Chains A and B, each alone.
Chain A
Amino acid sequence: MNPIIFNLEKLPDWFGVLPEIILLVFAALVIILDLFVSQKKILAAVSLIGIIASGALSLGFWGTELSFFNGLILTDSFAVFFKLLFLGVSFLIVLASEDYVNSFRRLQGEYYALLLLATTGMMLMAGAGDITTVYVSLELTGISLYALTGFLKDRKSTEAALKYLLLGAIASAVLLYGLALIFGITGKTGLGEIARAVQAQLSGSASVSPALFLGLVLLIAGFGFKIASIPFHMWVPDVYEGAPTTVTAFLSVASKAAGFAIIMRVITSVFAAPDWLARDWATVFAVLSVLTMTAANIVAIPQSNIKRMLGYSSIAQAGYLMVGLAALGSSPFPGALAGMSPAQSGVLFFLASYAFTNLGAFTAITIIAQKIGSDEIADYAGMGRRSPLLALALTFCLVSLIGIPPASGFMAKFYIFRAAVQADLLWLVIIAVINSVISAYYYLRVVKVMWLESPPSAEKVPSSALPTVSLAVSCLGVLALGTIPGLIMKLAEMVNQFMP
């Protein structure tokens, strides 16, 4: 056996960020190759190879619990779970972009490179163990995504990029202020050190200092922007509508998952003790969750543009996810936050399920929009006859978003709601279930338009190979998570065993 395996303590620091380094090297390769090759398909292939290599290396850290660069970066199973999720998402996005990138003309190399850089940033976010790495990796992700949003260079896309940039900059300033306050009150930058300092300061007292309180509020606001929770969601409809559809898919899945990863790293584990502090932020998340679900579901009903509708739908999904966060904070299990918390594995499962589902829906929309040239729901009329398989896949994903078995959305909601009930949050679960029923209305409206209305033309909607593969993988993922969730839950629970 390799002696390195036995000498985990003596690993060189760069070893801990090997998956990110590989992805960065491939991003650089894409940038350089783009300058010399005219056949841009090669760039997609290079990106895919980079993603696979990075994923394979990430997998090697499964079950470890190491910290590198003096705690700047952690490699535990939690980080590996999210790294694989981000890599999987960007893999499917690259596949689904095969035809779509033609609308970027000469900017295809930049598209792939920025996609890889954004993924690198998210992977670093998942493994961040220090507020400095939290912030810079968040910015890396943000900058890449702002640029990706403006790739179509038409009026809507540019407006979307500008709005996203301005609001993102404000959110990042808010977050930075929060981090500064927390640093000021604890005097530490490492997440573990901050947790210990907070615990030491608050043991025996019954209230937090104003700076810690405000810092926590600002953190929730800053991260709330990332996960698009109401009232920090203002950017979502315009950005989702204006951005290239593949980028919208990436934003709605990977960026949101990264937001939840960082919330679970920074808020729910650092401020987990003492109990009353955890219950405090749990209440905040519960209130935000109710606001988010209800408002987003009601506003989604009159939408006529499917990208906009899915934008509001993704806000609502963040609401359901926050039920899990609320359960995480008010969990009655003593000390359950770090260990085998069903709420945390529920959130992880929901994120995986949501990733497949939303990716599937957006891939289907990308393929359809390529052919019919429209994102209006009314133009989807008769899609069931023009392209049965495509319509079936989209229907399946929408059904999963509602939360109907056998699609994975049902199991995902089931796990989170069960955890919430165990945490004495029955009222929140009831509101969430009512919301699911409301949401069925606008999802099923699309289904109705596709299957029951007559098509304007009998022309088939063909699709090219790679995006179809991407769609098929997504749908298989939704089906697998929905029918054999036990396997995945086991993995998610293993993740929890290793959370600090």
Chain B
Amino acid sequence: MLAGYGLIGLFFIAVLIFSLALVVIPVVLRYLGIVPARPGGVKQSVFECGMETIGRTWVQFNFRYYYYALVFLALDVLFIFLYPWAMKLRELGAYGLTAAFILVLIVIIGYVYAWKKKALEWK
């Protein structure tokens, strides 16, 4: 079981090495004199990273995003509870089903409220 996580760990190490290599290799090549250093406007522009920004990037975001984040968080926590139940659906039987139903029902009230109060609407 834990060996599986070992593989994930190996994967992370590989990712780290790969991404570090991408940064380090050009620097090393340049240091060894294999690649000439000729900085220019085109070379230093952003490549395939979207539009150039106009003005400051740190603008104040609309706080309406916050509602979505909040409601998403609540849903996320609900999911944490429902996932184990779904794993053992058969074994837990009617008792577990009722418990999960009540769980969802209670949270749904909150969602109906958020919906009806237009917290999820973009004005």
Contact = CB atoms under 8 A, between A and B. Distances in A.
A173 interface: no
B109 A28 contact: yes
Interface string A12-28: 00000000000010001
Contacts of A389: none
Contacts of A35: 112-113, 116-117
A30 B69 CA distance: 25
The interface residues of chain A, by DSSP majority, are classed as helix
A11 B106 CA distance: 24
- The bracket for how many chain B residues form the interface is under 10
A424 to B, nearest CB: 50
A96 to B, nearest CB: 25
A24 B102 CA distance: 12
Nearest to B98: A14
A35 B119 CA distance: 13
Nearest to B117: A35
Nearest to B113: A31
A34 B109 CA distance: 12
A31 B112 CA distance: 9
Interface in B68-123: 106, 109, 112-113, 116-117
A53 interface: no
- Among all A-B residue pairs, the 9 with the closest Cβ atoms: A35-B116, A28-B109, A31-B113, A31-B109, A35-B113, A32-B109, A32-B112, A35-B117, A35-B112
Given A32-B112, A35-B116, 11 more contacts: A24-B106, A28-B106, A28-B109, A31-B109, A31-B113, A32-B109, A32-B113, A34-B113, A35-B112, A35-B113, A35-B117
B53 to A, nearest CB: 33
10 contacts: A24-B106, A31-B113, A32-B109, A32-B112, A32-B113, A34-B113, A35-B112, A35-B113, A35-B116, A35-B117
A34 B117 CA distance: 10
Contacts, number: 13
Nearest to A107: B117
A32 B111 CA distance: 11
Contacts of A28: 106, 109
A35 B117 CA distance: 7
Nearest to A28: B109
Contacts of A32: 109, 112-113
B122 to A, nearest CB: 20
A35 B112 CA distance: 9
Contacts of A31: 109, 113
Contacts of B112: 32, 35
A318 B113 CA distance: 38
Contacts of A34: 113
A32 B106 CA distance: 12
A146 to B, nearest CB: 14
Contacts of B109: 28, 31-32
A494 B87 CA distance: 47
Interface in A235-263: none
B111 to A, nearest CB: 11
A358 B112 CA distance: 37
Contacts of B117: 35
B66 to A, nearest CB: 15
Nearest to A36: B116
A28 B112 CA distance: 11
A203 B115 CA distance: 58
Nearest to B95: A13
A378 B35 CA distance: 82
A376 to B, nearest CB: 34
A34 B116 CA distance: 10
A34 B113 CA distance: 9
Interface string A30-44: 011011000000000
B77 to A, nearest CB: 12
Contacts of B106: 24, 28
A28 B117 CA distance: 15
A383 to B, nearest CB: 40
A31 B106 CA distance: 11
Interface string B14-36: 00000000000000000000000
A337 B117 CA distance: 51
A35 B113 CA distance: 7
A193 B29 CA distance: 68
A24 B106 CA distance: 9
A412 B104 CA distance: 45
A35 B110 CA distance: 12
A463 B55 CA distance: 58
A266 to B, nearest CB: 25
B31 to A, nearest CB: 49
A415 B48 CA distance: 79
B27 to A, nearest CB: 44
A28 B106 CA distance: 8
A484 B109 CA distance: 45
Nearest to B116: A35
A31 B113 CA distance: 7
A17 to B, nearest CB: 12
B72 to A, nearest CB: 18
A24 B116 CA distance: 20
B118 to A, nearest CB: 11
